[in-house]
Amino acid sequence: MSMAERPIADNRKARHDYELFETLEAGIVLVGTEVKAIREGRVNLRDSYARVENGEVYVHNIHISPYSHRGYATHEPLRPRKLLLHRAEIRRLIGKAVEKGFTLVPVHLYFKAGRVKVALSVARGKKVHDKRESVKRREAEREARAAMSNRRY
């Protein structure tokens, strides 16, 4: 991530629940109060997913809480939001997403040059034993690092 990109939210659960393959950057269509709420950090990506509908990509279940200083203007926190992608990228996503077991998952939300961007990954759900295996591997690596740092010469 470059210095021009400022992180907003991360979907850490997606890295645990899914095996991530290809990642794309997409713009997202928002209303003014949503952008202001995102600047306050009032956004949650957990359990969010994207779907191709009528040749356009929409992201569902991104929870953007209402802006704290809103007046009469407000937004629906869980509304489907359109992603801005090139037609060729959408075609490629359709090709990947129709394969058995693949889904589109937003993994990262960030500001880039003042605009909100979504990192969208093509992912396959992990089985329970795969999750256990990755946790075991992480624990073993952590223990090995701890043993190496405690070792004295």
SS3 of residue 7 by DSSP: strand
Mean pLDDT of 82-96: 88
Cα atoms in the 13 Å half-sphere on the side-chain side of 21 = 12
In order, the DSSP letters of 98-132 are: TSTTEEEEEEEEEEETTEEEEEEEEEEEPPHHHHH
Each domain of the chain, given as residue ranges in start order, spans: 7-126
For the ranges 41-50, 58-67, 98-107, 125-134, the lowest mean pLDDT is seen at: 125-134
Give the predicted TM-score (pTM) of the model: 0.75
Q: CA 130 to CA 69: how far, in whole Å?
A: 44
CATH for 7-126, options being 3.30.70.920, 3.20.20.30, 2.40.280.10, 3.30.70.360: 2.40.280.10
pLDDT at residue 56 is higher than 70: yes
Give the pLDDT confidence score for residue 3 in this predicted structure: 52
- Confidence band for 145, pLDDT divided at 50, 70 and 90: confident
Give the pLDDT confidence score for residue 27 in this predicted structure: 93
pLDDT at residue 93 is higher than 90: no
Residues 6+ apart with CB under 8 A from 113: 4
pLDDT at residue 2 is higher than 90: no
Segment 3-30, tens digit of pLDDT? 567 788 888 888 888 888 888 899 999 8
- Confidence band for 1, pLDDT divided at 50, 70 and 90: low
Residues 6+ apart with CB under 8 A from 11: 45, 46, 48, 105, 106, 107, 108
H-helix or E-strand containing 10? strand 5-10
Residue 150: count of CB within 10 angstroms of its CB? 7
Q: What share of the chain has pLDDT > 90, as a percent? A: 14
List strand residue ranges (DSSP E) for 11-148, in order.
Answer: 18-28, 43-44, 49-53, 56-60, 63-64, 81-84, 102-112, 115-125
- Confidence band for 60, pLDDT divided at 50, 70 and 90: very high
Q: CA 87 to CA 144: how far, in whole Å?
A: 47
pLDDT at residue 82 is higher than 80: yes
